[in-house]
Structure 1
């Protein structure tokens, strides 16, 4: 390959693949001859230009930079966040900044009503999250936050006591309310249904 022809294609800002397509050769051939002639490409395709008017509108209507990128049809890889910051600076607009915890507000599941909570206490095919079941039992269903066996309360030795969820029949898929009880770690370790007893 002639050096002058390759140099002209490099100056046009073409990538190795684009040069290979234009010359109808493999990109490895292009890479070989670029190395032989001491030439370099810019390494990547030129970025597709963003419409400034659309960018300004997206900034005004969005609450996060990710939303801005969505609205202008750009991917959310890290380079576009930097590009958005530079574009905003060039156009004199302010990029939206999510307030602390704002993103969390969008992903929080809606609060279950009492009927939906009661419906969770049933036999299932997969184990349920015991932390949620314990929380619902004590906060929503009015079950005392204390060991049903020894009466030890929510604190022990001046520190919070984590009660354990015990399945009376030993079947952890049976989450019917009549089959569940809260036990302190000591009582749970001695219970017949404890997985610690072998």
Structure 2
């Protein structure tokens, strides 16, 4: 059953949203297909002001304050939940580690930069103390005792 919407409904929806999709949601419509056409037709018919719409995507036109990076003293600790790929990036940015394998010294492989991985020497991937971290190429990393949880005591269970 079609619901008849008034000019006031469309204007109120436009005023309290930042996009055509937002207008649809406010009016109880699924933001897709013909409903976009209905919104565009209503905007043209009733001369609705949409100058405050931010464009495609929810964040177009928004201004975000830059996020201050976490202090290294909060990251390089035992029990850290900081993501490994971000940790590796920070170690390189802050010149705590070089972009080379610490075992074989390689910086490139077959003419390309070698992909480097973080190795946690004690096998605990939440122990980000600098003395527990080692930057390795995939080959050297695969040869370590604790590669991919090999030496993780909680992961090894006796089977009957």
> Shorter-normalised TM-score: what interval?
0.5 to 0.7
2:131 equivalent to 1:186: no
1:91 to 46, 61, 68: 46
In the other structure, the counterpart of 1:30 is none
Q: Name the SS for the 1:103 alignment partner.
A: coil
What TM-score does the superposition give when structure 1 sets the normalisation length? 0.56
2:104 equivalent to 1:147: no
State the Cα RMSD in Å: 3.6
In the other structure, the counterpart of 1:41 is none
Q: CA deviation at 1:124?
A: 2.5
Whole-angstrom CA distance in 1 between matches of 2:97 and 2:115: 15
2:124 equivalent to 1:167: no
Report if the CA contact (8 A) 1:65-1:81 is conserved: yes
Report if the CA contact (8 A) 1:123-1:176 is conserved: yes
Q: Which has the higher contact order (CA 8 A, sep 6+)?
A: 2
2:69 to 97, 110, 113: 113
Whole-angstrom CA distance in 2 between matches of 1:175 and 1:148: 17
Report if the CA contact (8 A) 2:7-2:46 is conserved: no
Whole-angstrom CA distance in 1 between matches of 2:92 and 2:38: 50
Structure-2 change in CA distance of 1:131 and 1:78 (3 Å): same
What TM-score does the superposition give when structure 2 sets the normalisation length? 0.67
Any stretches of 5+ residues in structure 2 without a counterpart? 152-160
In the other structure, the counterpart of 1:158 is 111
Report if the CA contact (8 A) 2:121-2:134 is conserved: yes
Q: What are the equivalent positions in structure 2 for 1:53-92 lying under 5 Å apart?
A: 53-54=11-12, 58=15, 64-68=19-23, 73-75=26-28, 77-78=30-31, 80-92=35-47
Whole-angstrom CA distance in 1 between matches of 2:133 and 2:76: 9
Aligned residues: 146
Any stretches of 5+ residues in structure 1 without a counterpart? 1-43
Q: Name the SS for the 2:148 alignment partner.
A: coil
